[in-house]
């Protein structure tokens, strides 16, 4: 038996605990004992033999010898150089996370509207942190434990009661450096009663030939009547592994819209835990993945309706080419006593090559009779009749295929409520399906975000 890859991280933690603790704050350190206890008991990170991880071995994702930036080395990063994921015609409040270090830009701090806080988790109001950090959902699992164990920094966003933000907040996660690194990243977003906020998070890898791994936890608390939009765009490298867990809690009347796009990556495992606590909530959870080469994309959702009269809609679409593999596992639970809920889930996939693989497992757990639930999954190829129609009208096959693939993704793109981001994503998809992007990672899309 080889040593579980978890061991190198628990060993590191034991050796460096003092340093890690001193780099972080009490609130962040508070979670470490529980994390260690959980991981020691598990003995290893999840593997394919575990139910729910059938196609993604997290053990293998973190098997490379990744270091943790315990000495808080400041990796210089040229944002202009690495950050090509601009969205034209939009102004955002930009925050950058280099590896696992939050680097606030002067413009961000200057432009924050009243009632909005965006800062490092280390500088955040300790009362708020104490109340919310790690508390969004009850479930405690490997993703949460692994992240909590080595967490040293993170982003805290707080939107006060009734504050409706006009501009989106943009968080850019960048991997940079010459040594293989593990970056534990965390975002805690608290939208108080009636608040409205949109966040765009982009994951990039600057040094393409170096192995990186990230463990990300995004905690979202949507207070009563709050509205939170979260857009997640991954354009990393084939050598990047990402294990990202969303932990969302919705109070009564809140609306949550998460849309995650994996355009280029290495191995990605996204987990979405959504706990609908209050009545009359709206939840839209969508995602898309474009896989080529040996990309691997795994999305897994666990959405629980605990109260009455809520509506949830999940839509995940994959286009897989070459040897890419995709997995989707979605679960809707309607808890005992939760009445009049409507919950829908759909997963549609296109396989564009003989080597591509797709695994899907849409699940329903229903404990109440007063529900309307449905789920659907399809795996197929481009409609040959549609292809024929287009070719018979003079559109070359490659062009026709590209158009159909773009059209296939449209309903995910349309879940995005920022028009300029929709345009941007359409453009990225076009490039992606033209083969321009692929491993060359957005080299064609240069530019700067219009910062004010």
Burial 142-171 (b: 16+ CB within 10 A, else e): bbbbbbbbbbbbbbbbbbbeebebebbbbb
Residue 341's contacts (CB-CB under 8 Å, 6 or more residues apart) are 305, 308, 309, 310, 311, 312, 334, 368, 370, 371, 372, 373
Q: Based on the shown chain and the rule CB under 8 A, indicate whether residue 366 belongs to the binding site for other proteins.
A: yes
| Strand 101-104 to 311-320 pairing | unpaired
The residue from 139, 164, 372, 427 that contacts other proteins (CB under 8 A) is: 372
CB contact set of 291 (below 8 Å; sequence gap of 6+): 262, 297, 318, 319, 320, 321, 322, 324, 325, 326, 356
Contacts of residue 217, Cβ cutoff 8 Å, sequence gap at least 6: 143, 144, 147, 148, 185, 186, 187, 244, 245, 247
Q: Which of 362, 425, 428, 442 binds other proteins (CB under 8 A)?
A: 362
Which of 214, 292 has the CB closer to other proteins?
292
Count of other CB atoms within 10 angstroms of residue 343: 25
DSSP classification of residue 166: S
- State the minimum distance, in angstroms, from the CB of residue 429 to other proteins: 20
89 lines the binding site for other proteins (CB under 8 A)? no
Contact status: 323 vs other proteins (CB under 8 A): no
374 binds other proteins (CB under 8 A): yes
CB of 358 to other proteins, least distance (A): 5
Residues 29-58 vs other proteins: string with x where CB under 8 A?
----------------------x--x----
Retrieve residue 213's tokens.
């791994």
- Regarding 340 and contact with other proteins (CB under 8 A), the answer is no
Q: CA 11 → CA 37, 67, 75, 149, 283, distances in Å?
A: 13, 12, 24, 11, 40
Stretch touching other proteins by CB under 8 A, among 37-45, 69-77, 293-301, 356-364: 356-364
In degrees, to the nearest 5, what angle opens at C-alpha 144 toward C-alphas 141 and 146? 100
CB of 75 to other proteins, least distance (A): 40
Q: Residue 223 or residue 362: which is nearer to other proteins going by CB?
A: 362
Selected from 60, 364, 390, 404, the binder of other proteins by CB under 8 A is 364
- Which window, 101-109, 166-174, 372-380, 402-410, contacts other proteins (CB under 8 A)? 372-380
Contact 390, 418 (CB under 8 A): no
Rounded CA-CA distance 277/310 in Å is: 10
Tallying the residues shown for the chain, one arrives at: 452
- Both tokens of residue 413? 């793109």
Kindly state the smallest distance separating residue 414's Cβ from other proteins, in Å: 22
Q: Does 379 bind other proteins (CB under 8 A)?
A: yes
Smallest distance from other proteins to CB 47, Å: 15
Q: Is residue 309 involved in binding other proteins (CB under 8 A)?
A: no
Cα angle 180-156-214, degrees, rounded to a multiple of 5: 20
Range in contact with other proteins (rule: CB under 8 A) among 1-9, 178-186, 283-291, 367-375? 367-375
**Smallest separation, CB 317 to other proteins (Å):** 15
Among 373, 400, 418, 431, binds other proteins (CB under 8 A): 373
For other proteins, which is the closer residue by CB, 54 or 430?
54
With CB under 8 A as the contact rule, the residue among 40, 125, 138, 367 that binds other proteins is 367
- 125 interacts with other proteins by CB under 8 A: no
Closer to other proteins by Cβ: residue 7 or 139: 139
Choose, by CB under 8 A, the member of 337, 396, 435, 447 that binds other proteins: 337
Q: Rounded distance, CA 330 to CA 327, Å?
A: 10
Among 43, 380, 396, 447, binds other proteins (CB under 8 A): 380
- Per rule CB under 8 A, count of chain residues that contact other proteins: 36
Cβ-based nearer residue to other proteins, 126 or 381 = 381
Binding site for other proteins (CB under 8 A): 51, 54, 336-337, 339, 349, 351-354, 356-381
């Amino acid at each position: 038996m080889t040593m579980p890859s978890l061991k190198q991280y628990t060993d590191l933690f034991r050796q460096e605990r003092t340093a890690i603790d001193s780099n972080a704050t009490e609130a962040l350190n508070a979670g470490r004992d529980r994390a260690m206890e959980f991981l020691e008991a598990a003995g290893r990170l999840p593997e394919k033999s575990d139910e729910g991880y059938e196609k993604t071995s997290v053990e293998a994702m973190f098997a490379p010898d990744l270091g943790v930036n315990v000495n808080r080395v400041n990796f210089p990063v040229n944002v202009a150089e690495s950050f090509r994921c601009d969205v034209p015609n939009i102004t955002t409040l930009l925050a950058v996370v280099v590896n696992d270090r939050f680097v606030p830009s002067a413009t961000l701090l200057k432009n924050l509207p009243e009632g909005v806080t965006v800062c490092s988790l280390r500088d955040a109001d300790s009362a708020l942190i104490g109340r919310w950090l790690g508390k969004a959902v009850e479930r405690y699992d490997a993703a949460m434990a692994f992240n909590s164990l080595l967490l040293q920094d993170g982003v805290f966003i707080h939107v006060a009661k009734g504050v409706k933000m006009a501009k989106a907040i943009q968080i850019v996660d960048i991997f940079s450096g010459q040594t293989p690194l593990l970056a534990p990243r965390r975002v805690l977003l608290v939208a108080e009663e009636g608040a409205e906020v949109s966040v765009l998070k982009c994951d990039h890898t600057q040094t393409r030939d170096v192995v990186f791994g990230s463990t990300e936890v995004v905690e979202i608390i949507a207070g009563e009547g709050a509205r939170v939009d979260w857009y997640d765009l991954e354009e990393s490298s084939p050598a990047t592994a990402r294990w990202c867990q969303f932990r969302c809690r919705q109070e009564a009347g809140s609306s949550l819209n998460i849309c995650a796009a994996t355009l280029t990556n290495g191995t990605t495992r996204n987990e979405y835990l959504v706990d609908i606590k209050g009545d009359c909530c709206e939840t839209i959870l969508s995602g898309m993945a474009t896989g080529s080469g040996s990309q691997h994309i795994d999305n897994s959702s666990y959405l629980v309706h605990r109260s009455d009269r809520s509506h949830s809609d999940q839509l995940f679409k994959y286009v897989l080419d070459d040897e890419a593999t995709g997995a989707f596992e979605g679960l809707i639970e309607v808890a005992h006593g939760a009445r009049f809920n409507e919950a829908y889930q759909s997963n549609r996939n296109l396989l564009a090559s003989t080597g591509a693989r797709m695994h899907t497992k849409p699940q329903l757990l229903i404990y109440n009779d007063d529900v309307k639930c449905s789920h659907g999954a399809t795996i197929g190829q481009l409609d040959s009749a549609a292809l024929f129609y287009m070719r018979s009208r003079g559109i070359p096959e490659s062009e026709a295929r590209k158009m159909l693939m773009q059209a296939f993704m449209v309903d995910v793109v349309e879940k995005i409520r920022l028009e300029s981001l929709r345009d941007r994503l359409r453009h990225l998809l076009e490039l992606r399906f033209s083969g321009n992007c692929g491993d060359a990672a957005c080299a064609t899309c240069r530019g700067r975000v219009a910062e004010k």
